[in-house]
Amino acid sequence: MHGMHPRAKRKQKEKRVAKEHIKELFHQADEVFAARPDLAHRYVHLARVTQMKYKVRMPREYKRKYCQHCYHYIRSGVNGRVRIRDGMLTVFCDYCRKFSRTPFK
């Protein structure tokens, strides 16, 4: 980092903090989902806002935890289904009745 512009250093730090914030929000959503699903959905919303504001990629493990259409938090077997077939991971949302497919090895 020697010789970096101060603004670049600050941006790098902001992105690191944003990633930590997203991680914490998903952890909170995981814990609170059973008692308050509405709050879990709110945490996903906040994580997405943070991700977009700081132009950070959503980590793959979190991408599969929410619906790509309505952005509701999904827990497999409770309010959504996850299936693996023909090399595709399919996540089905019970809220909007839509699904997303991801290649899976």
Q: Residue 20 sits in a domain of what CATH number?
A: 1.20.5.420
* Rounded mean pLDDT, 57-81: 93
Higher pLDDT, 20 or 2: 20
Over residues 3-23, the mean pLDDT reads: 93
Q: What is the pLDDT of residue 2?
A: 66
| Residue 26 burial (CB count, 10 A) | 21
Give the length of the chain. Answer: 105
pLDDT higher than threshold 90 for residue 104? no
Give the strands of the sheet with 80-85, arranged side by side. Answer: 80-85, 88-93, 99-103
Query: In this structure, what DSSP letter does residue 66 have?
Result: B
In a domain, 49, yes or no: yes
- pLDDT at residue number 36: 96
- Specify the number of domains making up the chain: 1
- pLDDT value of residue 3: 74
What is the per-residue pLDDT for 105? 79
Q: Domain limits at 51?
A: 6-103
Residue 1 has pLDDT above 60, yes or no: no
